[in-house]
Amino acid sequence: MEHLLRLVLVSTVAAVLLGFASPASNAAPRIANSPYDGAWSVAIYTLRGDCGSVRVAVRIVGGRVYSEDQSYQANGGVGANGVVRVAVSGFGRSATGSGRLSRNAGAGSWRSSRGECSGSWSASRRAGYY
C-alpha cells in the first residue's frame, strides 16, 4: 500500500501534487515561468481505506508536475490560477487528485482509480528552489 501512496503524491503535487482529478490529456499546458515552478514537498494522507500516508518530492517546471522518483509516472499540471490536476500510475495502480496551490503552499484531495482509498494532500515549497 505504501507504493499506492507514492503514486498519489506526485503529484499531487502533489503534488503534489499537489487538484488531482484529470488524466494527462486534460492536464494544464506548459506555461513559461510559472509562478509555481520549483521543488515541492507533498504529504499525502489516507482518510478512507488502508493505503497509509507518505511524503514525496515533486518538481513543477513550466506549470507541469513531475515526480522526483522515477518509480512511477505523473501527468498533470498547475493552471495560472493555481488549480492542480494530476494522474499518477505505477506498480499496477493509479490515482487522481485535485487541489490548489498558492505561492508557497497548497492542499487538495486524491482518490485511487479503483476507489479503495481516498484522502487529502498538502504541499509546501522547498526552500531555496524557486
**1 Cβ contact partners less than 8 Å away, ≥ 6 residues apart:** 50, 51, 52, 117
Give me the domains of the chain, ranges plus CATH numbers: 2-125 (2.40.128.120)
Give 59's strand partners.
39, 66
Residue 111 cell numbers, joined: 482518490
Segment 55-110, tens digit of pLDDT = 888 899 999 998 888 887 888 999 999 999 998 888 788 899 999 999 999 999 99
What distance in Å separates the CA atoms of residue 27 and residue 108, rounded to the nearest whole number? 16
* Interval 13-18 mean pLDDT: 34
pLDDT score of 130 = 47
Higher model confidence: residue 32 or residue 58? Answer: 58
Question: Which three cell numbers mark 28?
Answer: 494544464
pLDDT at 31: 57
Query: Which helix (H) or strand (E) segment is 16 a member of?
Result: strand 16-17
Q: How confident is the model over 37-52, as pLDDT tens digits? A: 999 999 999 999 998 8
Q: How confident is the model at residue 29 (pLDDT cuts 50, 70, 90)?
A: low
